[in-house]
Structures are given as structure tokens and as C-alpha cells.
């Protein structure tokens, strides 16, 4: 696609108010779904994050990696069991989770950001005891419930101009390691950082009145309205915990929370630097 220099200048001028809104502010991006697996989408996400960083937005990338954990467990001959949609995580499984999340995925993302011209540093919830955790449910083993978030390691990295990439592994005072739900960790970290916005990349276009009809997108929703939508069954199953993480972040002071479609190239830039918005925005 050929774009004239005049058109490029016009695009930048239109983006100016949004750049001014976010410059110097913290933006937390929860990264998951197809955008983590599809190489083209992964490249799009990384370029979006580097661009935002270069115009002065303090971007924090929080990632999970459930499919990769399952794949590694399969390679070592270990079957994955789930209870109420959550992975049963014994000592061996949490060791694998730590290796995959804090090792392979985290460092791959750091490397991609660096290759795109950004400066990045990988962290996990263990670093600086950032995410202090406890057992969520005895049946699940080392699946963590977040007790406390120490944002200082992330703030220190941001102050030096780096993009923090945070893997969702937590720990307790006894040295036990826990696998943490990425949506929960992103919401709690965003609140602890006093973030301007939290963006959650998903594999759907946002909240839908009819889950089978993308044209029924709910572009804005209040906390009270989400409760009503849950009661009516419009928000159901796996979307309930995602939505609750979004509303909890709002309750704890995050100014804007979005669920957007990570399958759309450059969806982060579309949401932050245009007036169109492509997902669902949560508000009080």
C-alpha cells in the first residue's frame, strides 16, 4: 500500500492527542491467545509496543503461556489434568511452568523486542518477590493466589527506559513457586503500578451480546452492567474470570481497561492512538 508523505503527516497529527494522553503514563498489556502463537501477529504486537515506548509510553508486557506449558509436559510424558478449568500443578509441573514461562517465553519476547529496536528486560513474579502468593486451592497444588504485589522491580526497569516483560510466576516466603493466572496477575500489577490503562489481548473481538455474532460488540460497559450481564448469562464460562479481572482493576484505580482482539494486526495501536477503538472498554 502506497501512502503519500502528506497522508503520513496527517496520520501523525490525528494521533497527537492520543500520544499526549499516554506519554509518560504506564500501559500494561496482557499478552496471550493467538497473538502469542501466530508469528505475524507476534511481530505486530512487538512493533506496537516498541513504537509506544519510543513515543514515551511506559509499556509493561505481562504474559502467560498455557499451551506452551502443556506442550512441554507432553514432551516429558506428563499428562495435564484440569479442575474447574485450572491446571493441577504438582511440584514437577510448576518446575516446568517456571522453565517455560520465566525462561523460554520470557526471553524470546525480550529478544524480539530488542531485535525491533526496543530495550527490554525480562522479569518474573519471583524477582524482588514481586508477586507474593499462596495456595489457591489444595486440589490444584502450586496454583497461586496473589497475596501482595511489589511493583518496585517494574518501576526500576521503567525508570531506566526498558520495557519490562513479566512472566506470571509467583512465590511465597518459604521459597515455594506458584503458577499464576495471567489475567489476574496483569490486573493486580496494573493496579499496583497505578497504570493509566490495562489492555488484555484475547481471541475474540470483545464482549458480545451474542457470542456467535461479532456485530453485537459491546463497546463500553460499566462494572454494574457487567454484573447484570453475568446474571443474565450473556457473560459466561471462561469470560467470567477475564471480566472480573478487568472490573477488579477498575475498582483498584486503573483508569481504563480494555479487552481487544489480538487477532487484528496492530490492535494495540488502533486502541490507543485512534478514536475508533476495536474492543470493549470497562469503566466505573
Of 33, 65, 125, 144, the active-site residue reads: 33
Of 132, 141, 242, 262, the active-site residue reads: 242
Q: Active site includes 30? A: yes
Q: Active site includes 183? A: yes
User: What is the Cα–Cα distance from 253 to 230, expressed in whole angstroms?
Assistant: 22
Q: Active site includes 78? A: no
Q: Which residues fall within 8 angstroms of residue 191, CB to CB, at 6 or more apart?
A: 149, 248, 249, 252, 253, 254
Q: Active site includes 24? A: no
Q: Measure CA of the first residue to CA of the last residue in the chain; give whole Å.
A: 40
Q: Active site includes 279? A: no
Taking the CA of residue 28 as centre, how many other CA atoms within 13 Å lie in the half-sphere pointing to its CB?
Answer: 32
Of 48, 127, 183, 261, the active-site residue reads: 183
Q: Which residues fall within 8 angstroms of residue 270, CB to CB, at 6 or more apart?
A: 260, 264, 276, 277, 278
SS3 141: strand
Of 21, 25, 43, 66, the active-site residue reads: 66
Q: Which residues fall within 8 angstroms of residue 119, CB to CB, at 6 or more apart?
A: 53, 113, 161, 162, 163
User: What is the Cα–Cα distance from 41 to 35, expressed in whole angstroms?
Assistant: 5
Q: Which residues fall within 8 angstroms of residue 259, CB to CB, at 6 or more apart?
A: 200, 202, 204, 206, 207, 242, 243, 246, 279, 280, 282
26-40 burial, b at 16+ Cβ within 10 Å, e below that, comes to bbbbbbbbebbeeee
Sort residue 161 into left (φ over 0), alpha (ψ -120 to 50) or beta: left
| DSSP code, position 126 | T
Catalytic residues: 30, 33, 66, 183, 242
Amino acid at each position: 500500500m502506497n501512502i503519500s508523505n502528506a497522508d503520513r503527516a496527517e496520520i501523525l497529527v490525528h494521533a497527537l492527542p492520543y500520544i499526549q494522553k499516554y506519554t509518560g503514563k504506564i500501559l500494561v498489556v496482557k499478552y496471550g491467545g493467538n497473538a502469542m502463537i501466530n508469528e505475524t501477529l507476534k511481530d505486530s504486537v512487538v512493533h506496537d509496543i516498541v513504537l509506544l515506548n519510543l513515543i514515551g509510553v511506559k509499556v509493561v508486557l505481562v504474559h502467560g503461556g498455557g499451551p506452551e506449558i502443556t506442550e512441554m509436559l507432553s514432551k516429558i510424558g506428563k499428562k495435564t489434568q484440569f479442575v474447574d478449568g485450572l491446571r493441577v500443578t504438582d511440584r514437577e509441573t510448576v518446575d516446568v511452568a517456571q522453565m517455560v514461562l520465566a525462561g523460554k517465553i520470557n526471553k524470546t519476547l525480550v529478544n524480539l523486542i530488542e531485535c525491533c529496536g526496543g530495550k527490554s528486560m525480562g522479569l518474573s513474579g519471583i524477582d524482588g518477590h514481586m508477586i507474593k502468593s499462596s495456595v489457591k486451592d489444595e486440589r490444584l497444588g502450586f496454583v497461586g493466589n496473589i497475596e501482595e504485589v511489589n511493583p518496585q522491580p517494574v518501576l526500576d526497569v521503567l525508570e531506566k527506559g526498558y520495557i519490562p516483560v513479566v512472566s506470571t510466576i509467583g512465590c511465597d516466603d518459604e521459597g515455594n513457586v506458584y503458577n499464576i493466572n495471567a489475567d489476574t496477575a496483569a490486573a493486580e500489577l496494573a493496579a499496583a503500578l497505578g497504570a493509566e490503562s490495562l489492555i488484555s489481548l484475547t481471541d475474540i473481538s470483545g464482549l458480545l451480546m451474542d457470542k456467535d455474532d461479532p456485530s453485537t460488540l459491546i463497546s463500553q460497559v460499566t462494572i454494574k452492567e457487567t454484573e447484570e450481564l453475568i446474571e443474565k448469562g450473556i457473560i459466561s464460562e471462561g469470560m467470567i474470570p477475564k471480566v472480573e479481572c478487568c472490573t477488579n482493576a477498575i475498582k483498584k484505580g486503573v483508569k481504563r481497561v480494555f479487552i481487544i482482539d489480538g487477532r487484528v494486526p496492530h490492535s494495540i495501536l488502533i486502541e490507543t492512538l485512534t478514536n475508533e477503538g476495536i474492543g470493549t472498554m470497562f469503566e466505573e
